[in-house]
């Protein structure tokens, strides 16, 4: 063995020990400051969608259908309907104050919301931990709901019906 190789090995061993220890610090960091939720969805999803800000979003006009109720297909509240008439917004989440309560381990307390924009209903995820799926795809930006689309939050799926 050359001197240089031995020297590198010798430095390397101490370095490996320290890399090991420092990598554990990431766990301890979480102890001290809590786990930070960095979400790409959070950045893309802002600004908050409200019933008034429709025009600025440039949501294209398509063949809109005029849903009157939310029909829950699966989950604990399967079979129930929530009327949409005269509503501007429907807040969905685990919090008891939500318009549509989803008692599911995978739902955040303020998980998503449906906003009445012009003739359409637009679905926005509210930076939930586990995301909101529309037709099997996780949504990252506000999306206009079309007829027959199913929305899934945790184990609950529902759709809009006219």
Partner 1 sequence: MSNVSLTQAIPMLLKAVPRSRNFEAVLLFWVAGIHAFALAQIQLAVSQRMSWDMLYYWAPPTISAWILHYVLRKYVLNADGLLLPLAFLLNGLGIAMIYRLDLAEITRGGEDLFAERQVWLSCFAMLMAAIVVRLVRNPLVLRRFPYLAGAAAVVLLLLPAAPVIGRTFNGATLWIAIGDLSFQPGEIAKILLAIFFAGYLVSRKGPLSEIGSRVLGMRIPRAKDLGPILLFWVASMAVLVIQRDLGTSILYFGLFLVMIYTATGRGFYVGIGLVMMVTGALVASRLFGYVGARFDSWLAPFATENYTAPGGSYQLVQGLFGMAHGDVIGAGLGSGFPQLIPLAESDFIFAALGEELGLAGVFAILAIYLLIVYRGLRIANTHQDDFSKLLALGFSFVLGLQVFIVAGGVMGLLPLTGLTTPFLAAGGSALLANWSIIALLLVLSDSSLRRVKE
What is the per-residue binding string for partner 1 in 136-155, x denoting contact by CB under 8 A?
----------------x-xx
Q: Is 1 among the residues that bind partner 1 (CB under 8 A)?
A: yes
Q: Is 4 among the residues that bind partner 1 (CB under 8 A)?
A: no
d(CA 108, CA 17): 40
Rule CB under 8 A: choose which of 4, 31, 37, 86 binds partner 1: 31
d(CA 8, CA 50): 61
Q: How far is the CB of 137 from partner 1 (least distance, A)?
A: 13
Neighbours of 77 (CB within 10 A): 16
d(CA 58, CA 63): 15
Q: Is 38 among the residues that bind partner 1 (CB under 8 A)?
A: no
Q: Is 131 among the residues that bind partner 1 (CB under 8 A)?
A: no
The residue assigned the tokens 């930076």 is 127
- 77 with 98: CB under 8 angstroms? no
Q: Is 10 among the residues that bind partner 1 (CB under 8 A)?
A: yes
Q: Is 157 among the residues that bind partner 1 (CB under 8 A)?
A: yes
């Amino acid at each position: 063995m050359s001197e240089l190789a031995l020297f590198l090995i010798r430095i390397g061993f101490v370095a490996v020990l320290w890399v090991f220890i420092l990598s554990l610090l990431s766990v301890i960091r979480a102890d001290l400051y809590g786990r930070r939720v960095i979400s790409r969805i959070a950045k893309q999803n802002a600004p908050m969608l409200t019933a008034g800000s429709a025009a600025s979003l440039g949501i294209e006009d398509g063949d809109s259908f005029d849903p009157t109720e939310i029909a829950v297909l699966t989950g604990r509240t399967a079979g129930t309907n929530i009327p949409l008439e005269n509503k501007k917004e429907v807040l969905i989440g685990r919090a008891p104050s939500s318009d549509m309560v989803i008692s599911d381990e995978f739902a955040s307390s303020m998980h998503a919301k449906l906003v009445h924009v012009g003739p359409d209903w637009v679905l926005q995820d509210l930076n939930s931990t586990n995301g909101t799926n529309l037709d099997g795809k996780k949504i990252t930006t506000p999306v206009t709901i079309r007829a027959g689309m199913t929305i899934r939050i945790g184990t609950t799926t529902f759709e809009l019906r006219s």
